[in-house]
A and B are shown apart, each in its own frame.
Chain A
Amino acid sequence: MAGNRELDTATNTETTGHEWDGIKELDTPMPRWWLLTFYATIIWGVIYVILFPAWPLIHAATPGLLGYSSRVEAAKEIADAEAANAPLDQALMATDISGDEANPELLAYATAGGGAVFRNNCSQCHGAGAAGARGFPNLLDDDWLWGGTAADIEQTVTHGIRYEQDDDTRFSQMPAFGDILSSEEINQLVNYVRSLSGLDHDSALTQEGSVLFADNCASCHGEDGKGSYDFGAPNLTDSIWLYGSDPDTLRETITNARFGIMPAFQGRLSADDIRKVAIYVHTLGGGQ
């Protein structure tokens, strides 16, 4: 590759003697300022290595004289953001939580923050869109087991449901009627319960079913089967079924009962985060 230097007639410049398939390289001197710029970058690099974390060692990089750390910076930014939000958090805790739009700015703050809390802590069971799943209530509809006001939701999130580590948890237990009633009686109850919400049923069995319902179920679910927020007893007359409304599922529910658990978030989330997520859930379309 290296060959003889020669003079290029078009430019009056020497070639380097390097040639690639007939293309020759001119030996044009580079501008001095370019060289100085190059030296400046070297000096910059040396100073940077001294001042900032640079060389990777086994456990960490060299710390640098300035002690800069992106983690510390991120932590500071988070602390700054929290400090900036502190007045809003205080205002939120000082306000009566009604879920109404008394203060649009506060509501916007609460729903934005609550959305983040929900996606981190609630979406695992209730879904990112809060539509729930079998056994995990849909939070978008207008049907609530323990009440759907913002205050009710805040109470549920704070203390959980059937969460025995929390003394104030919402607690109720449906008996497993498989030990109490015969299979025939359970079948009559299934048909009666389905008749309450207008589902297909054997009307020959509902008469006996209604008597059994009044004796065994009405104390929690009510005479009319509309349920009660006090016991977390579902409304049996509407279109919404947490576990399903087909006869087999109902038979299973009555025979063995259900015992859905939601953990208490008191202690895991701050009081203002719980309030935010309660307000967020309240604004999803089903709040009362």
Chain B
Amino acid sequence: MTDTADTPPPLYAAREPVFPRRVSGWFRTFKWWIMGITLGIYYLLPWIRWDRGPELPDQAVLVDLANRRFYFFFIEIWPQEFYFVAGLLIMAGLGLFLFTAALGRVWCGYTCPQTVWTDLFILVERWVEGDRNARIRLFRQPWNAEKIRKRVLKFTLWILIAVATGGAWVFYFADAPTLLKELLTGQAPAVAYMSIAVLTATTFTFGGMMREQVCIYMCPWPRIQGAMMDEQTLTVGYRDWRGEPRGKHRRRREMAEKTDAAFATTRAAGPVEGTRSPKMPMPGLPSGVGGPIPEKETLGDCIDCNACVNVCPMGIDIRDGQQLACITCALCIDACDDVMAKIGKPRGLIDYLTLGDGEAERMGAPKVSVWKRILRPRIILYTVLWSAIGVGLVAALVMRTDLAFSIEPVRNPINVVLSDGSVRNAYELRLRNMTGYDRTFDISVIADDPLAIELQGRAGAEVVVPANETLRQRIYLTSAPGSTASKTSSLDVDLQVEDENSGARAVESTIFHGKQQ
């Protein structure tokens, strides 16, 4: 490379815009459904009401940070039950292992918020500015009234979506109808406006401007998942042994020569020819399906129509093989199947296939059933682990009680001798009422030797714990002068809390220190 010594390569490169063409097919339909469901959940979930009684919020899903409560339909999580969240996070992690091992970057291609919102933003862009050709024309044409009008309309719609996205986020943290009213009248807390502003900015920038740059340069997931895919993982690939050597058939070539008519389909995703995104190999994976392509006299099935490249939201050419920038959204499968149907060839030149199957098919082996790739030990092991944690969490949820307390002996000092010679121990009681109504509890002590119980600042051994609150109460246990308990250095005692109305009981054991230290 002698000439490059004279002209050093550029240190940075501007983003090449990508103009994905509209495509229809099975995977596109499936993605529309997923987009509708995920966006529907995100925007509408805070508005679902759930009656929990007068004392508690009636929002079905609510993260109440101020009072440290998480409400999810019939479940109410207290801070000490954070293990539920930890369990859900472990399930999410194992779920990613499971789906990546089975289906590669299926998360990236279908459900990642970056993909879903980018899809939505492209939908708006296409609606305002037209499909691929029109957008490229608009991009190239100088600024005039039409361009300004379309750009302003597009950006306005994007900002509205972005504001709605940031707005929906804050509704998860406060009563949605109240907060909406406050937001509109300017009375909402500053943090709500700031959260909306930040999320509006990120949604607009990431969904409208950055798009594939987020996946290629910012996201760690493409780097990680190379280690989690294997030879048996289904991923989007190109059957190069069937397609190569690619070449335009006569009729296509004629069409291509009438450049204007065929402009749309003969150009790559960007306004200039070739793929736009840098070609980076997947870490740990071979870049192609691999192996030499058998010698062929005739052209392969690929007519080099560039349909797969034109529809790609990432601006890559899947025919280059496995690469980091591919999010496996499968739109190129739809595009290619469409072309194969038109030229009378079997579908699946670009298809979900495994790297291992590619090797075998190249040698003439038949296609392997998808189920055989999914029902294998690694996938089953992940599924079992994932389900076991899920079952464990459900069991913990079913078995938890709405009456729980903790009792901690006060250690400084461990006991106090009173003037009549009796010995007193102090304890800190934390009694949680995890219901939506006030409850009255009787506190009693169970021990081998009689101990008098006294509640700091209260007459009797009865306490009322308000709905959805934790009561902190200091408790004194006192042994009579000269009693066995007074002479025992460590006596096991049980503290019992009983609901006066329901009779529900909870018992915790602790220790009484009698002997003078």
List residues of chain A with CB under 8 Å of any chain B CB. Answer: 5-7, 10-14, 27-35, 101, 107, 127-129, 131, 138, 140-143, 235, 238-240, 283, 285
Contact = CB atoms under 8 A, between A and B. Distances in A.
Given A35-B12, A141-B424, 12 more contacts: A5-B4, A13-B279, A29-B13, A31-B15, A31-B213, A34-B217, A127-B412, A129-B410, A142-B419, A143-B418, A143-B419, A239-B481
B484 to A, nearest CB: 18
B217 A141 contact: no
Taking each of B210, B413, B424, which has the highest tally of chain A beta carbons within 10 Å of its own beta carbon? B413
A200 B280 CA distance: 92
Taking each of B4, B13, B281, B419, which has the highest tally of chain A beta carbons within 10 Å of its own beta carbon? B419
Contact of A142 (B210, B213, B418, B481): B418
A32 B1 contact: no
Given A5-B4, A240-B417, A12 B279 contact: yes
Contact of A11 (B213, B279, B410, B421): B279
B4 A30 contact: no
Contacts of A31: 12-15, 213, 217
Taking each of A7, A31, A101, which has the highest tally of chain B beta carbons within 10 Å of its own beta carbon? A31
A28 B324 CA distance: 14
B39 to A, nearest CB: 26
A33 B281 contact: no
A10 B281 contact: yes
Contact of B412 (A34, A128, A240): A128
Contacts of B4: 5, 14
| 9 interchain residue pairs of minimum CB distance | A129-B412, A238-B419, A131-B413, A239-B421, A29-B13, A143-B419, A140-B416, A32-B14, A35-B12
6 contacts: A29-B9, A30-B12, A31-B14, A33-B213, A127-B412, A140-B413
Given A10-B287, A11-B279, A141 B12 contact: no
A30 B410 CA distance: 61
Interface SS of chain A: helix, strand, loop or mixed?
loop
A12 B12 CA distance: 16
Contacts of A128: 412
Interface of B: 1, 4-5, 9-15, 210, 213, 217, 278-281, 287, 410-413, 416-421, 424, 426, 456-457, 474, 476, 481
A32 B15 contact: yes
A171 to B, nearest CB: 24
Nearest to B457: A101
A280 B143 CA distance: 76
A32 B419 contact: no
B133 to A, nearest CB: 26
A131 B418 contact: no
Contacts of B476: 285
A11 B281 contact: yes
A141 B456 contact: no
A5 B410 contact: no
B419 A239 contact: yes
A110 to B, nearest CB: 12
Given A33-B210, A285-B476, A141 B417 contact: yes
B1 A14 contact: yes
Contacts, number: 92
Contact of B456 (A5, A10, A285): A285
B5 A29 contact: no
Contact of A14 (B9, B420, B481): B9
A32 B12 contact: yes
A270 to B, nearest CB: 25
B418 A141 contact: yes
A27 B7 CA distance: 14
B416 A29 contact: no
A238 B481 CA distance: 12
A126 to B, nearest CB: 11
Given A141-B416, A141-B418, A240-B417, A285 B426 contact: yes
Contact of A28 (B278, B413, B417): B278
Contacts of A127: 412-413
A34 to B, nearest CB: 7
Contacts of A10: 281, 287
B319 to A, nearest CB: 14
A27 B10 CA distance: 9
Contacts of B421: 238-239
A233 B11 CA distance: 89
Given A12-B279, A131-B413, A29 B418 contact: no
B457 A32 contact: no
Contacts of B412: 127-129, 131
Nearest to B8: A27
A27 B12 CA distance: 10
Taking each of B11, B279, B281, B418, which has the highest tally of chain A beta carbons within 10 Å of its own beta carbon? B418
A266 B514 CA distance: 39
B454 to A, nearest CB: 9
Given A11-B279, A238-B420, A30 B11 contact: yes
Contacts of B10: 29
A13 B279 CA distance: 9
A140 B424 CA distance: 10
B210 to A, nearest CB: 7
Nearest to B421: A239
A240 B421 CA distance: 8
Contacts of B213: 31, 33
B420 A239 contact: yes
B417 A239 contact: yes
A100 to B, nearest CB: 9
B1 A6 contact: yes
A12 to B, nearest CB: 7
A5 B12 CA distance: 18
Contacts of B12: 29-32, 34-35
A273 B205 CA distance: 54
A32 B418 contact: no
A78 B490 CA distance: 45
Contact of A7 (B1, B5, B278, B419): B1
A142 B15 CA distance: 79
Nearest to B472: A108
A238 B456 CA distance: 23
B465 to A, nearest CB: 14
B515 to A, nearest CB: 14
A28 B281 CA distance: 13
A185 B83 CA distance: 71
B280 A285 contact: no
Nearest to A101: B457
Contacts of A33: 15, 210, 213
Nearest to B423: A239
Given A31-B13, A138-B416, A285 B424 contact: yes
B478 to A, nearest CB: 10
Nearest to A139: B416
